[in-house]
Amino acid sequence: MSEIRNNTVLSGVQPSGDLHIGNYLGAIKNFVSMQNDYKCFFCIVDLHAITVKQDPKILKKNTLEVAATYIASGIDPKKSIIFNQSSVPAHSELAWIINCVTRMGWLSRMTQFKDKAGKDKENASSGLFIYPNLMAADILIYKATHVPVGNDQKQHLELTRDIAQKFNRDFNCENFFPIPEPIIDKDISRIMSLKDGNQKMSKSDLSEYSRISLLDESDQIIKKIKKAKTADTVMPEKIDDILKLSEVNNLLNIYSGFSGLEKQKLIDQYKGKTFSIFKSDLSDTLVERIKPITSEIKKLMQDKHYLLGILQEGRNKANEVAKKTINDVYDIVGLLRNET
Ligand code: TRP
Protein backbone atom coordinates (compact mmCIF):
# COMPACT_ATOMS: atom_id res chain seq x y z
CA MET A 1 0.00 0.00 0.00
CA SER A 2 2.76 2.48 0.82
CA GLU A 3 3.92 2.19 -2.76
CA ILE A 4 0.50 3.05 -4.13
CA ARG A 5 0.22 5.97 -1.72
CA ASN A 6 2.96 7.64 -3.78
CA ASN A 7 0.48 7.81 -6.61
CA THR A 8 -1.71 10.85 -6.83
CA VAL A 9 -5.38 11.07 -7.69
CA LEU A 10 -7.13 14.22 -8.81
CA SER A 11 -10.74 14.56 -9.75
CA GLY A 12 -13.29 17.31 -9.90
CA VAL A 13 -17.00 17.97 -9.72
CA GLN A 14 -18.68 21.10 -11.04
CA PRO A 15 -20.68 23.21 -8.61
CA SER A 16 -23.55 23.65 -11.00
CA GLY A 17 -26.20 22.66 -8.50
CA ASP A 18 -28.43 19.73 -7.71
CA LEU A 19 -25.97 16.86 -7.52
CA HIS A 20 -27.75 13.63 -8.33
CA ILE A 21 -27.17 9.90 -7.99
CA GLY A 22 -25.37 9.91 -11.36
CA ASN A 23 -22.73 12.21 -9.90
CA TYR A 24 -22.59 10.07 -6.78
CA LEU A 25 -22.25 6.66 -8.42
CA GLY A 26 -20.19 7.88 -11.36
CA ALA A 27 -17.74 9.94 -9.37
CA ILE A 28 -18.00 10.68 -5.66
CA LYS A 29 -18.54 7.11 -4.45
CA ASN A 30 -15.37 6.03 -6.23
CA PHE A 31 -13.42 8.89 -4.71
CA VAL A 32 -14.24 7.60 -1.25
CA SER A 33 -12.73 4.21 -1.91
CA MET A 34 -9.46 5.72 -3.15
CA GLN A 35 -8.47 7.86 -0.25
CA ASN A 36 -6.60 5.18 1.65
CA ASP A 37 -4.56 4.13 -1.33
CA TYR A 38 -3.64 7.38 -3.03
CA LYS A 39 -2.76 10.93 -2.20
CA CYS A 40 -6.06 12.50 -3.21
CA PHE A 41 -7.03 15.94 -4.44
CA PHE A 42 -10.78 16.46 -4.77
CA CYS A 43 -11.49 19.72 -6.46
CA ILE A 44 -14.69 21.72 -6.84
CA VAL A 45 -14.26 23.09 -10.33
CA ASP A 46 -15.91 26.49 -10.10
CA LEU A 47 -13.91 27.90 -13.02
CA HIS A 48 -15.31 25.17 -15.22
CA ALA A 49 -18.83 25.97 -14.05
CA ILE A 50 -18.62 29.56 -15.37
CA THR A 51 -17.96 28.39 -18.93
CA VAL A 52 -21.75 28.53 -19.06
CA LYS A 53 -23.90 31.16 -17.35
CA GLN A 54 -24.18 30.91 -13.56
CA ASP A 55 -25.91 33.07 -11.00
CA PRO A 56 -23.03 34.45 -8.87
CA LYS A 57 -24.88 34.13 -5.56
CA ILE A 58 -26.02 30.61 -6.20
CA LEU A 59 -22.56 29.59 -7.44
CA LYS A 60 -21.04 30.26 -4.02
CA LYS A 61 -23.74 28.24 -2.31
CA ASN A 62 -23.32 25.41 -4.81
CA THR A 63 -19.59 25.37 -4.18
CA LEU A 64 -20.19 24.84 -0.47
CA GLU A 65 -22.80 22.23 -1.32
CA VAL A 66 -20.30 20.14 -3.30
CA ALA A 67 -17.88 20.37 -0.36
CA ALA A 68 -20.70 19.23 1.96
CA THR A 69 -21.58 16.40 -0.43
CA TYR A 70 -17.99 15.21 -0.60
CA ILE A 71 -17.79 15.05 3.18
CA ALA A 72 -21.29 13.60 3.68
CA SER A 73 -20.44 10.86 1.17
CA GLY A 74 -17.41 9.79 3.16
CA ILE A 75 -14.49 11.82 1.90
CA ASP A 76 -12.40 12.50 4.95
CA PRO A 77 -10.82 15.97 4.92
CA LYS A 78 -8.02 14.62 7.11
CA LYS A 79 -7.03 12.14 4.44
CA SER A 80 -7.94 13.97 1.24
CA ILE A 81 -7.47 17.51 0.06
CA ILE A 82 -10.78 19.25 -0.64
CA PHE A 83 -10.67 22.69 -2.24
CA ASN A 84 -12.18 24.88 -4.90
CA GLN A 85 -10.32 25.41 -8.12
CA SER A 86 -10.41 29.21 -8.24
CA SER A 87 -8.73 29.44 -4.83
CA VAL A 88 -5.50 27.97 -6.25
CA PRO A 89 -4.31 30.43 -8.93
CA ALA A 90 -1.80 27.99 -10.42
CA HIS A 91 -4.65 26.12 -12.16
CA SER A 92 -5.37 29.18 -14.30
CA GLU A 93 -1.70 29.94 -14.78
CA LEU A 94 -0.94 26.47 -16.06
CA ALA A 95 -4.11 26.50 -18.17
CA TRP A 96 -2.73 29.47 -20.11
CA ILE A 97 0.52 27.66 -20.83
CA ILE A 98 -1.51 24.66 -21.94
CA ASN A 99 -3.57 26.89 -24.23
CA CYS A 100 -0.31 27.47 -26.06
CA VAL A 101 0.53 23.76 -26.22
CA THR A 102 -2.80 22.26 -27.30
CA ARG A 103 -3.52 22.41 -31.02
CA MET A 104 -6.80 23.86 -32.33
CA GLY A 105 -7.38 20.62 -34.18
CA TRP A 106 -7.23 18.62 -30.96
CA LEU A 107 -9.81 20.82 -29.28
CA SER A 108 -12.13 20.89 -32.25
CA ARG A 109 -12.47 17.12 -32.01
CA MET A 110 -13.89 17.24 -28.47
CA THR A 111 -17.41 15.87 -28.57
CA GLN A 112 -18.46 17.44 -25.28
CA PHE A 113 -17.94 20.92 -26.71
CA LYS A 114 -20.10 20.02 -29.68
CA ASP A 115 -22.81 18.69 -27.34
CA LYS A 116 -22.70 21.61 -24.94
CA ALA A 117 -22.40 24.36 -27.53
CA GLY A 118 -25.34 22.86 -29.41
CA LYS A 119 -26.51 24.54 -32.57
CA ASP A 120 -25.36 28.00 -31.63
CA LYS A 121 -21.60 27.50 -31.59
CA GLU A 122 -20.89 31.13 -32.45
CA ASN A 123 -22.47 32.12 -29.20
CA ALA A 124 -20.67 29.63 -26.93
CA SER A 125 -18.05 31.14 -24.63
CA SER A 126 -14.44 30.71 -25.67
CA GLY A 127 -13.98 29.28 -22.17
CA LEU A 128 -16.23 26.40 -23.12
CA PHE A 129 -13.98 25.64 -26.08
CA ILE A 130 -10.78 25.60 -24.02
CA TYR A 131 -12.46 23.89 -21.07
CA PRO A 132 -10.43 20.69 -21.64
CA ASN A 133 -7.19 22.66 -21.30
CA LEU A 134 -8.22 23.86 -17.86
CA MET A 135 -9.13 20.29 -16.96
CA ALA A 136 -5.68 19.17 -18.09
CA ALA A 137 -4.17 21.90 -15.91
CA ASP A 138 -6.17 20.64 -12.89
CA ILE A 139 -4.64 17.23 -13.36
CA LEU A 140 -1.09 18.13 -14.37
CA ILE A 141 -0.55 20.84 -11.77
CA TYR A 142 -0.51 18.07 -9.12
CA LYS A 143 1.29 15.64 -11.44
CA ALA A 144 -1.63 13.29 -10.86
CA THR A 145 -1.02 9.71 -11.94
CA HIS A 146 -4.64 8.53 -11.79
CA VAL A 147 -7.92 10.25 -12.59
CA PRO A 148 -11.28 8.70 -11.72
CA VAL A 149 -13.74 9.93 -14.32
CA GLY A 150 -17.02 9.00 -15.90
CA ASN A 151 -17.08 7.66 -19.43
CA ASP A 152 -18.05 11.06 -20.79
CA GLN A 153 -14.73 12.53 -19.65
CA LYS A 154 -12.57 9.86 -21.24
CA GLN A 155 -11.85 11.94 -24.32
CA HIS A 156 -10.74 14.87 -22.16
CA LEU A 157 -8.39 12.59 -20.31
CA GLU A 158 -6.90 11.31 -23.54
CA LEU A 159 -6.34 14.91 -24.53
CA THR A 160 -4.61 15.53 -21.19
CA ARG A 161 -2.27 12.65 -21.93
CA ASP A 162 -1.47 14.13 -25.35
CA ILE A 163 -0.84 17.53 -23.77
CA ALA A 164 1.50 16.08 -21.14
CA GLN A 165 3.44 14.20 -23.81
CA LYS A 166 3.71 17.20 -26.10
CA PHE A 167 4.86 19.46 -23.28
CA ASN A 168 7.50 16.98 -22.16
CA ARG A 169 8.68 16.60 -25.74
CA ASP A 170 8.53 20.26 -26.85
CA PHE A 171 10.45 21.45 -23.83
CA ASN A 172 12.84 18.56 -23.65
CA CYS A 173 11.84 17.60 -20.15
CA GLU A 174 11.08 13.92 -20.41
CA ASN A 175 8.96 12.64 -17.50
CA PHE A 176 8.25 16.13 -16.15
CA PHE A 177 4.52 15.53 -16.35
CA PRO A 178 3.49 11.95 -15.66
CA ILE A 179 1.02 10.58 -18.22
CA PRO A 180 -2.17 10.18 -16.16
CA GLU A 181 -4.22 7.00 -16.26
CA PRO A 182 -8.02 7.10 -16.24
CA ILE A 183 -9.89 5.03 -13.69
CA ILE A 184 -13.28 4.27 -15.17
CA ASP A 185 -15.86 2.04 -13.56
CA LYS A 186 -17.38 0.63 -16.71
CA ASP A 187 -20.54 -0.76 -15.19
CA ILE A 188 -21.93 2.20 -13.37
CA SER A 189 -20.09 5.22 -14.59
CA ARG A 190 -22.94 6.20 -16.84
CA ILE A 191 -26.20 6.57 -15.01
CA MET A 192 -28.99 7.42 -17.40
CA SER A 193 -32.24 9.39 -17.13
CA LEU A 194 -35.12 7.58 -15.40
CA LYS A 195 -37.35 8.61 -18.28
CA ASP A 196 -35.08 7.80 -21.19
CA GLY A 197 -32.39 5.14 -20.87
CA ASN A 198 -30.49 6.59 -23.81
CA GLN A 199 -29.93 10.00 -22.23
CA LYS A 200 -27.53 10.70 -19.44
CA MET A 201 -29.02 11.65 -16.08
CA SER A 202 -28.55 15.38 -16.04
CA LYS A 203 -29.24 18.35 -13.84
CA SER A 204 -30.25 20.32 -16.90
CA ASP A 205 -33.07 17.93 -17.84
CA LEU A 206 -36.34 19.84 -17.52
CA SER A 207 -38.11 16.95 -15.84
CA GLU A 208 -37.46 16.35 -12.15
CA TYR A 209 -38.58 12.78 -12.72
CA SER A 210 -35.54 12.10 -14.87
CA ARG A 211 -33.16 12.16 -11.91
CA ILE A 212 -32.86 11.55 -8.18
CA SER A 213 -31.13 14.39 -6.39
CA LEU A 214 -28.98 13.76 -3.35
CA LEU A 215 -31.22 16.29 -1.61
CA ASP A 216 -34.48 14.48 -2.41
CA GLU A 217 -36.65 13.43 0.52
CA SER A 218 -37.54 9.76 0.86
CA ASP A 219 -41.09 10.19 -0.47
CA GLN A 220 -39.73 11.92 -3.58
CA ILE A 221 -37.32 9.06 -4.18
CA ILE A 222 -40.13 6.53 -3.88
CA LYS A 223 -42.37 8.51 -6.22
CA LYS A 224 -39.64 8.93 -8.83
CA ILE A 225 -38.79 5.23 -8.87
CA LYS A 226 -42.48 4.39 -9.11
CA LYS A 227 -42.78 6.61 -12.17
CA ALA A 228 -39.51 5.47 -13.75
CA LYS A 229 -39.86 3.89 -17.16
CA THR A 230 -39.47 0.09 -17.40
CA ALA A 231 -41.09 -2.31 -19.87
CA ASP A 232 -44.37 -4.15 -20.43
CA THR A 233 -42.80 -7.47 -19.53
CA VAL A 234 -41.39 -9.10 -16.44
CA MET A 235 -37.69 -8.94 -15.59
CA PRO A 236 -35.87 -10.89 -18.32
CA GLU A 237 -33.37 -13.50 -17.25
CA LYS A 238 -30.79 -13.00 -19.95
CA ILE A 239 -28.44 -10.07 -19.82
CA ASP A 240 -28.72 -9.64 -23.61
CA ASP A 241 -32.45 -9.10 -23.29
CA ILE A 242 -31.93 -6.68 -20.43
CA LEU A 243 -29.46 -4.64 -22.45
CA LYS A 244 -32.18 -4.11 -25.02
CA LEU A 245 -34.34 -2.51 -22.34
CA SER A 246 -32.12 0.46 -21.60
CA GLU A 247 -34.29 1.86 -18.78
CA VAL A 248 -34.41 -1.50 -16.98
CA ASN A 249 -30.68 -1.92 -17.41
CA ASN A 250 -30.15 1.53 -15.94
CA LEU A 251 -32.29 0.75 -12.87
CA LEU A 252 -30.28 -2.43 -12.36
CA ASN A 253 -27.06 -0.42 -12.53
CA ILE A 254 -28.41 1.99 -9.95
CA TYR A 255 -29.52 -0.86 -7.71
CA SER A 256 -26.16 -2.56 -8.03
CA GLY A 257 -24.29 0.69 -7.38
CA PHE A 258 -26.16 1.40 -4.17
CA SER A 259 -26.52 -2.12 -2.81
CA GLY A 260 -23.04 -3.35 -3.71
CA LEU A 261 -24.68 -6.49 -5.13
CA GLU A 262 -23.54 -7.74 -8.50
CA LYS A 263 -25.89 -7.10 -11.36
CA GLN A 264 -26.09 -10.79 -12.24
CA LYS A 265 -27.14 -11.55 -8.69
CA LEU A 266 -29.94 -9.02 -8.91
CA ILE A 267 -31.07 -10.45 -12.24
CA ASP A 268 -31.20 -13.94 -10.72
CA GLN A 269 -33.21 -12.59 -7.84
CA TYR A 270 -35.80 -10.71 -9.93
CA LYS A 271 -36.04 -12.70 -13.18
CA GLY A 272 -39.62 -13.46 -14.05
CA LYS A 273 -40.95 -11.05 -11.42
CA THR A 274 -42.92 -7.91 -12.07
CA PHE A 275 -41.18 -4.59 -12.13
CA SER A 276 -43.30 -3.29 -9.29
CA ILE A 277 -41.68 -5.78 -6.89
CA PHE A 278 -38.26 -4.86 -8.20
CA LYS A 279 -38.99 -1.14 -7.90
CA SER A 280 -40.25 -1.41 -4.38
CA ASP A 281 -37.03 -3.12 -3.22
CA LEU A 282 -34.96 -0.66 -5.22
CA SER A 283 -36.70 2.28 -3.51
CA ASP A 284 -36.05 0.76 -0.09
CA THR A 285 -32.35 0.43 -0.87
CA LEU A 286 -32.09 3.94 -2.28
CA VAL A 287 -33.85 5.49 0.68
CA GLU A 288 -31.70 3.56 3.12
CA ARG A 289 -28.48 4.60 1.37
CA ILE A 290 -29.30 8.17 0.38
CA LYS A 291 -31.08 9.37 3.51
CA PRO A 292 -27.98 9.53 5.74
CA ILE A 293 -26.09 11.39 3.02
CA THR A 294 -28.93 13.86 2.49
CA SER A 295 -29.27 14.65 6.17
CA GLU A 296 -25.53 15.05 6.58
CA ILE A 297 -25.37 17.45 3.60
CA LYS A 298 -28.20 19.49 5.11
CA LYS A 299 -26.53 19.53 8.51
CA LEU A 300 -23.18 20.60 7.06
CA MET A 301 -24.84 23.35 5.02
CA GLN A 302 -25.96 24.90 8.31
CA ASP A 303 -22.32 25.13 9.37
CA LYS A 304 -20.80 27.39 6.75
CA HIS A 305 -17.92 28.23 9.03
CA TYR A 306 -16.83 24.60 9.20
CA LEU A 307 -17.06 24.14 5.42
CA LEU A 308 -15.09 27.33 4.75
CA GLY A 309 -12.44 26.08 7.16
CA ILE A 310 -12.14 22.78 5.28
CA LEU A 311 -11.82 24.58 1.94
CA GLN A 312 -9.21 26.92 3.35
CA GLU A 313 -7.15 24.08 4.73
CA GLY A 314 -7.47 22.26 1.40
CA ARG A 315 -6.45 25.35 -0.52
CA ASN A 316 -3.31 25.78 1.58
CA LYS A 317 -2.24 22.19 1.04
CA ALA A 318 -3.06 22.25 -2.67
CA ASN A 319 -1.29 25.57 -3.13
CA GLU A 320 1.91 24.20 -1.73
CA VAL A 321 2.10 21.49 -4.39
CA ALA A 322 0.70 23.60 -7.22
CA LYS A 323 3.10 26.50 -6.65
CA LYS A 324 6.09 24.25 -6.96
CA THR A 325 4.86 22.85 -10.28
CA ILE A 326 4.00 26.23 -11.78
CA ASN A 327 7.40 27.66 -10.79
CA ASP A 328 9.10 24.75 -12.51
CA VAL A 329 6.86 25.18 -15.57
CA TYR A 330 7.66 28.90 -15.85
CA ASP A 331 11.32 28.07 -15.66
CA ILE A 332 11.05 25.32 -18.28
CA VAL A 333 9.08 27.54 -20.65
CA GLY A 334 11.47 30.46 -20.17
CA LEU A 335 9.21 32.87 -18.36
CA LEU A 336 11.10 35.20 -16.10
CA ARG A 337 9.73 35.13 -12.59
CA ASN A 338 11.75 37.72 -10.81
CA GLU A 339 11.02 36.68 -7.26
CA THR A 340 13.24 36.95 -4.25
N1 TRP B 1 -14.99 18.02 -16.64
C2 TRP B 1 -15.34 17.23 -15.50
C3 TRP B 1 -16.83 16.94 -15.50
O4 TRP B 1 -17.62 17.76 -15.93
C5 TRP B 1 -14.97 17.93 -14.22
C6 TRP B 1 -13.51 18.13 -14.07
C7 TRP B 1 -12.83 19.29 -14.14
C8 TRP B 1 -12.55 17.10 -13.84
N9 TRP B 1 -11.52 19.09 -13.94
C10 TRP B 1 -11.29 17.77 -13.76
C11 TRP B 1 -12.64 15.71 -13.69
C12 TRP B 1 -10.13 17.05 -13.57
C13 TRP B 1 -11.45 15.01 -13.50
C14 TRP B 1 -10.21 15.68 -13.44
O15 TRP B 1 -17.22 15.90 -15.03
Q: Is the pLDDT of residue 78 over 90?
A: yes
Which of 295, 277, 312, 324 shows the shortest CA–CA distance to 140? 324
Share of the chain above pLDDT 90, in %: 90
The DSSP call for residue 205 is: -
Catalytic residues: 116, 200, 203
- The alpha carbon of 40 and the centre of ligand 1 are apart by a number of angstroms equal to 14
The DSSP call for residue 218 is: H
Point out the ligand 1 atom lying closest to the alpha carbon of residue 27: 15
Q: Is the pLDDT of residue 5 over 70?
A: no
For ligand 1, mutation pick of 28, 31, 41, 43 (most atoms within 8 Å of CB): 43
State the Cα–Cα distance between residues 18 and 213, nearest whole angstrom.
6
- The alpha carbon of 12 and the centre of ligand 1 are apart by a number of angstroms equal to 5
CATH number of 208-299: 1.10.240.10
Of 186 and 89, more confident: 89
Report the Cα 282 to chain-centroid distance in Å. 24
Positive or negative: CA dihedral 281, 283, 289, 292:
negative
For the chain, give every domain's residue range. Answer: 2-189+304-333, 208-299
14 lines ligand 1 (CB under 6 A): yes
* pLDDT (tens digit per residue) in 217-260: 999 999 999 999 999 999 999 999 999 999 999 999 999 999 99
> Quick one: pLDDT band at residue 298, thresholds 50, 70, 90?
very high
Domain 2-189+304-333 has CATH 3.90.1530.10: no
Mean pLDDT of the chain: 95
Q: What is the pTM for the complete model shown?
A: 0.94
State the Cα–Cα distance between residues 77 and 72, nearest whole angstrom.
11
* Long-range Cβ pairs for the range 54-59 (8 Å, 24+): 54/16, 58/17, 59/15
The residue whose CA has the least distance to atom 6 of ligand 1 is 12
Over range 26-30, report the average pLDDT: 91
Q: Cβ neighbours of residue 243 under 8 Å, at least 6 residues apart? A: 249
H-only helix segments in the chain: 2-5, 21-23, 29-34, 46-49, 56-72, 90-99, 104-108, 111-117, 126-140, 154-170, 218-227, 239-244, 246-259, 263-270, 275-301, 304-333
List phi, psi (to 5°) of 187. Answer: -70, -45
